[in-house]
A and B are shown apart, each in its own frame.
Chain A
Amino acid sequence: AQTVTQSQPEMSVQEAETVTLSCTYDTSESDYYLFWYKQPPSRQMILVIRQEAYKQQNATENRFSVNFQKAAKSFSLKISDSQLGDAAMYFCAYRRLDTGTASKLTFGTGTRLQVTL
């Protein structure tokens, strides 16, 4: 079974600074997807960024980027120029590369990010 581990329960960053959230996973699959989700106090689940395992290039979405190390099974999220609105729970998630739509997401335990002035 796949597992996703986030070793940082809480992180704090000053506004405008950069922070990196860690995620490791375990799988026997060679192809899969990885995601970072943000969950603000409203409890909505917001997709931040996605990475296909077969792509060597790290995904980037504006201020958000990942460092995907397939051999190490590591998938960290870097948030640059942090903003107050970035404060939330962040979940790393794994999904198998099924051709159908019935592939479930496996979530990590989450990292609570605080952004300070």
Chain B
Amino acid sequence: GAVVSQHPSRVICKSGTSVKIECRSLDFQATTMFWYRQFPKKSLMLMATSNEGSKATYEQGVEKDKFLINHASLTLSTLTVTSAHPEDSSFYICSAPKVGDNQPQHFGDGTRLSIL
């Protein structure tokens, strides 16, 4: 079964609203989680590394004030797209590494964000 849960799976909202996406590790603690963005038929681009109890590390070119990341507990990271605009429409995926696991990272099922 899934070890990383991402919610919601689909969001449609008006331009200017803020949208929060949750990423939970279900049966393990994750001090680190990753947030990716994927455009249609494109690769996954790492946006930021979420660190429990400290500030996220953003990749070059990613607006920190636009994409707020909070990792308040060992099982939950949230990505908030603030004042969303149509160009923020995309597929967002989170992942978390599980210590001692054969897989490098466990991925959530992603969130399709559509801004009207």
Measured CB to CB, the residues of A under 8 A from B are 33, 35, 42-45, 47, 50, 89, 91, 93, 95, 100-110, 112
Q: Are B104 and A105 in contact (CB-based, < 8 A)?
A: yes
Task: Report the minimum CB–CB distance from A36 to chain B (whole Å).
Answer: 12
Instruction: Given the known inter-chain contacts A44-B107, A44-B109, A45-B93, please indicate yes or no for A104 contacting B34, CB distance below 8 A.
Output: yes
Instruction: A93 to B95: give the CA distance in the assembly, Å.
Output: 14
Interface residues of B (CB under 8 A from A): 30-32, 34, 38, 41-46, 49, 51, 91, 93, 95, 97-99, 102-105, 107, 109-110
The answer on a CB contact under 8 Å between A43 and B43 is no
- Summed over the interface, the residue pairs from A and B with CB atoms below 8 Å come to a total of 58
Given A43-B91, A101-B97, A105-B105, 6 other A-B residues pairs in contact with their CB atoms under 8 A: A44-B107, A44-B110, A95-B104, A101-B31, A102-B51, A103-B97
B45 cross-chain contacts in A, Cβ below 8 A: 107
Q: Which of A33, A103, A105, A112 makes the CB contact (< 8 A) with B41?
A: A112
Contacts of A35 in B (CB 8 A): 104
Contact of A43 with B32 at beta-carbon distance under 8 Å, contacts A95-B104, A104-B49, A109-B43 already known: no
Would you call A110 and B32 a contact (CB within 8 A)?
A: no
Chain B: which residue is nearest A42 at the CB level?
Answer: B109
A102 touches B32 (CB 8 A): yes
Partner of A101, one of B32, B43, B102: B32
Nearest chain B CB to A111 CB, angstrom units: 10
Please state if A107 and B104 are interface contacts (CB–CB under 8 Å): no
Q: Which residues of A contact B30 (CB under 8 A)?
A: 101
Shortest Cβ distance from A35 into chain B, in angstroms?
6
Q: How far is the CA of A33 from the CA of B104 in the complex (A)?
A: 9
Tell me the minimal C-beta distance from A112 to chain B in angstroms.
Answer: 7
Query: Which residues does chain B contribute within 8 Å of A101, judged by CB atoms?
Result: 30-32, 97-99
> Separation in Å of the B104 CB from the closest CB of chain A?
6
